[in-house]
Amino acid sequence: MSVLVQNCRTCGGRWFPARLMCPRCGGADLVPVSVERGVVEQLTHLGDVVIASVACDPEPLLVARLHGAVEPGDVVELTDDPGASGRPVAFVPPISLPREEMS
Amino acid sequence: MAAGSLRALRRPDGVSVIGAGESPYTRHPASGTTTDGVLADAVRRALADANIQASEVDGFGACSFTLGPDHAVDLAWRLGLRLRWLMQDTNGGASAGTMLQHAVRAVESGDASVVVLVAGDLMDQQVHLKMVAEYNRATAEQLVPLDMLGPNALFALLTQRQMAAEGLTRTDYGRLAVAQREWASLNPGAVYRQPLTLDDYLNAPMVAEPLGRYDCVPPVTGADAVVVAADERAAGMRRARVLGVSARYNTDDQTGDGLVTGLADCAPELWAAAGRGPADVDVVSVYDDYPAMALAQLKDLGLVAGGELPAFVAERLATRELAVNTSGGQLSAGQPGSAGGMHGLVEVVRQLRGQAGERQVAARLGLFSGYGMVLYRYGACATAGLLEAAG
Ligand SMILES: [Zn+2]
């Protein structure tokens, strides 16, 4: 399980949601890269829905929906599959990438 | 002075807001209420307040989420305005500063002589749900699929970060909400005027912890407008002279904690331009979509230092010693879509022109700020302006 974020091949910056140019170096060589886990920073409940800020190491910061028993400070697996279940995960909807980045 | 570049640097005697109007805010608009109807109502009220005829207006700016398929020019046409200068703004909670910044330069440069700025929306529940679902691409693609409608959860997470960073508690935010309700009780235009106690605040239903019902602005229908003109034009009129307007957009690419807004960068240049400091301010309107953001803006503008927020809330806001959000703010007056961005400017203008009725404070120098347009994790637009009573 993982989610795709953008990786700038010029400066190494990692971005989510997708950008058109790298905010750090201005480069346009942005390619998708898998990120498998992050740390839950804060979470809140909207009824039964648990929304969290999840920090990848070293970046980016994601807004995710948590499934399962997860507390702030926990490392959680990331998934872009809304139906995933069984163990604690953080769901992050997939980014729509520019066409040339699709493989 | 022939060169256009030099003319642009010339500072005329002054540019002022000479009138303000607000179409009454309503939680449940009567059937038949329309966006263009409330915008037109606010424009008529502002023109009457400024004692200006529509035929004298040659500049117009509008911000509305619900004006479509019409644009600013369609609205101008239907208002009968013949113009030399026109802008359409899309910056919601920051729209007053955005539009005022442009309008002041337009008057200074001679591109327009009398400018009307208006913001407002029809905001019934269906419209509100559609707006928050389609706010921008990141919202539609990355947030709505989380079963998260609207920004409450994002600002709940931000408020948790602010509580940890500043030593704030729910009681502190409650004191702010209660103080604004006390101001609202003096404002016939506020939708919520009945007293609110700290217990009411703390015991209200939770929306997204730590945010309860009274942390979240009630959507309303309404519109706000101001009239901007050169001081020469407004001789003898009570007016609010614009000393400076400053704006920042996307200062951190959404990579921070959201506790510092673009106002932190606006503030130094604003104070320098005006030759004044935070201690000189008599009346303040900060954009209060959530109490945490009101406090963040007061800090960024220099009215309170980091680490001193709990004492500031108790000693200066709860006591209403510092006149902040004297209309009741959006938390009590309501959030009329994009007019929420204009509401604070209208209140500061009214205070500086001595038109604030029972809530009038002794005000020579007024400060307003705007904030908004959540890109992904928090707002990305911040504007602020400083105005002085004149005439
Ligand atoms: Zn880069």
Of B157, B253, B254, which has the smallest distance from its Cβ to A42's Cβ? B157
* A17 close to B (CB below 8 A): yes
- B319-349 pLDDT, tens digit each: 999 999 999 999 999 999 999 989 999 999 9
**Closest approach of chain A CAs to the CA of B125, in angstroms?**
18
Residue A83 — very low, low, confident or very high, per pLDDT cuts 50/70/90? confident
Span from the CA of B126 to the centroid of ligand 1 (angstroms): 41
Q: Give the whole-angstrom CA distance, residue B19 versus residue B349.
A: 8
Lookup: tokens for B155: 């600002």
- The residues that bridge with B211 in the sheet, in sequence order, are B208
> Which residue out of A51, A62, A89, A95 would a mutagenesis test of the B interface target, given it has the greatest number of B Cβ atoms within 10 Å?
A51
Q: Do A61 and B208 touch (CB under 8 A)?
A: no
Q: Give the whole-angstrom CA distance, residue B292 versus residue B165.
A: 12
Residue B13 — very low, low, confident or very high, per pLDDT cuts 50/70/90? confident
Q: Given a cut of 60, is residue B172 above it in pLDDT?
A: yes
Per-residue confidence (pLDDT) for residue A86, from 0 to 100: 84
Span from the CA of A25 to the centroid of ligand 1 (angstroms): 4
Residue B367 — very low, low, confident or very high, per pLDDT cuts 50/70/90? very high
**Closest approach of chain A CAs to the CA of B253, in angstroms?**
7
Considering only A43-57, B42-56, B76-90, B233-247, which range has the smallest mean pLDDT?
B233-247
Q: Given a cut of 60, is residue B11 above it in pLDDT?
A: no
* A-chain residues near B142 (CB < 8 A): 16-17, 63, 92-93, 95
* A63 close to B (CB below 8 A): yes
Q: Count Cβ neighbours within 10 Å for each residue of B324-334 and write b for 16 or more, e otherwise.
A: bbbbbbbbbbb
Q: Given a cut of 50, is residue B10 above it in pLDDT?
A: no
Per-residue confidence (pLDDT) for residue B12, from 0 to 100: 58
- The residues that bridge with B230 in the sheet, in sequence order, are B15
Per-residue confidence (pLDDT) for residue B139, from 0 to 100: 95
* B208 close to A (CB below 8 A): yes
Q: Coil, strand or helix: which one is B196?
A: coil
- A14-67 pLDDT, tens digit each: 999 999 999 999 999 999 999 999 999 999 999 999 999 999 999 999 999 999
Q: Do A61 and B147 touch (CB under 8 A)?
A: no
Residue B124 — very low, low, confident or very high, per pLDDT cuts 50/70/90? confident
Of B145, B157, B254, which has the smallest distance from its Cβ to A44's Cβ? B157
Span from the CA of B118 to the centroid of ligand 1 (angstroms): 40
Per-residue confidence (pLDDT) for residue B5, from 0 to 100: 41
* A-chain residues near B207 (CB < 8 A): 46
Q: Give the whole-angstrom CA distance, residue B233 versus residue B37.
A: 29
Considering only A37-51, A74-88, B60-74, which range has the smallest mean pLDDT?
A74-88
Q: Do B153 and A42 touch (CB under 8 A)?
A: no
Q: What is the mean pLDDT of residues B242-256?
A: 97
- B176-201 pLDDT, tens digit each: 999 999 999 999 999 999 999 999 99
Q: Given a cut of 70, is residue B248 above it in pLDDT?
A: yes
- B258-304 pLDDT, tens digit each: 999 999 999 999 999 999 999 999 999 999 999 999 999 999 999 99
Report the share of chain B in percent with pLDDT over 70.
97
* B157 close to A (CB below 8 A): yes
Q: Given a cut of 70, is residue A68 above it in pLDDT?
A: yes
Per-residue confidence (pLDDT) for residue B9, from 0 to 100: 38
Q: Given a cut of 50, is residue B8 above it in pLDDT?
A: no
Q: Is B358 left (phi over 0), alpha (psi -120 to 50) or beta?
A: alpha
Of B137, B147, B376, which has the smallest distance from its Cβ to A63's Cβ? B376
* B48 neighbors B15 (Cβ within 8 angstroms): no
* A-chain residues near B156 (CB < 8 A): 44, 51
CB within 8 Å of B309: residues ≥ 6 apart = B166, B167, B168, B172, B295, B299
Span from the CA of B347 to the centroid of ligand 1 (angstroms): 44
Look-up: residue for tokens 């604690």? Answer: A88
Taking alpha carbons only, the member of B364, B368, B367 closest to residue B389 is B364
